Structure 1
Amino acid sequence: MTETPTGGPWEPGSQWYDGEAGPLVRPYAMTGGRTQPGPAGVRFDLIALVTLDPDGPEPDDTALGPEHRTLIDLCRPETQSVAELAAGADLPVGVVRVLLGDLLELGCVTVSRPVPPAQLPDERILREVIEGLRAL
């Protein structure tokens, strides 16, 4: 019979975590069971850029969880995408979206979405402009 790291018998289907794994917190505990960010209509694409709002209110530490503060700290030095924030905070993207919704409602962050490709100028037009400028 195989033993666990604590010396007890190993049972099939059981999982053991060592001290290096850290605390295990379910994502729904971090978001209060919510799966959608803030008010209806708010979408956080993976490439949406999140910036700490310098004019925004200073959030009350009791209103924010440690994950909220981690996201604020990651945004403090520079603008980050939602994907970068998820990687930097080591959290699932769905959780980061809900937490960013909270921060957006509090006015702590601003979100800018990239221009959809359909709204970008046609490459042919840009080449004609460049050629016109060179002709001057």
Structure 2
Amino acid sequence: MSADESFVRPFVLTGGRTQPRHDGLRIETQLHATPQALSAPLRFESRRIVELCQAPQSLADLSAALRAPLAVVRILVDDLVTEGHLLIDEPLTDVSPALMRRIRDRVRAL
């Protein structure tokens, strides 16, 4: 089998969709699988995402592990979140740009 024969077009993986249903998944978004996700009837990339997310993974990490474009992984992850198989790990606090600048300035002062 040549490399061309094993290539799957991204639109096949996403059912032809080019955008996730919900916005807000950033490349650093941390995701983890729900306990029942491994027993769900998932196929191919969706199954692999759930397996990888037994420990928290970022969207970027998943894209690299699957060797798939980030846009495709974002759509697959969005579907898994919508179906209740993945949970988004929310950061404890949002760090404002002003706070980041103050931290940077204080570190530089050391």
Shorter-chain TM range is: 0.7 to 0.9
**Which residue does the alignment assign to 1:47?**
28
Judged with a 3 Å threshold, the aligned counterparts in structure 2 of structure 1 residues 20 and 103 are, in CA distance, closer, same or farther, namely same
Q: Secondary structure at the match of 1:117?
A: coil
Partner of 1:25: 8
CA RMSD after TM alignment:
2.8
Structure with the larger RCO, 1 or 2 (CA within 8 Å, 6+ apart): 2
Of 114-123 and 104-113, more deviation after overlay is shown by 114-123
Deviation at 1:36, TM superposition (A): 1.5
Q: Which structure has more helix as a fraction of its residues? A: 2
After superposition, what is the alpha-carbon deviation per residue over 1:35-54, rounded to whole angstroms, capped at 9, x for unaligned? 1223x4x3210100011122
1:86 corresponds, among 52, 63, 75, to: 63
Greater Cα radius of gyration, structure 1 or 2? 1
Question: What are structure 2's unaligned runs of at least 5 residues?
Answer: none
Unaligned runs of 5+ in 1: 1-17, 128-136
1:111 alignment partner, SS class: strand
Report the TM-score when normalising by structure 2.
0.75
Q: Find the counterpart in structure 1 of residue 83 from structure 2.
A: 106
User: Quick one: distance in 2 between partners of 1:56 and 1:30?
Assistant: 19
* TM score, norm. by length of structure 1: 0.62
Shift of 1:22: 6.0
C-alpha spacing 1:57/1:89, structure 2 compared with 1 (3 Å): closer
Query: Secondary structure at 2:20's aligned position in 1?
Result: coil
Contact 2:10 2:72 in 1 (8 A): yes
Q: Secondary structure at the match of 2:6?
A: coil
Q: How many residues align?
A: 103
Q: 1:26 is aligned with what amino acid?
A: R
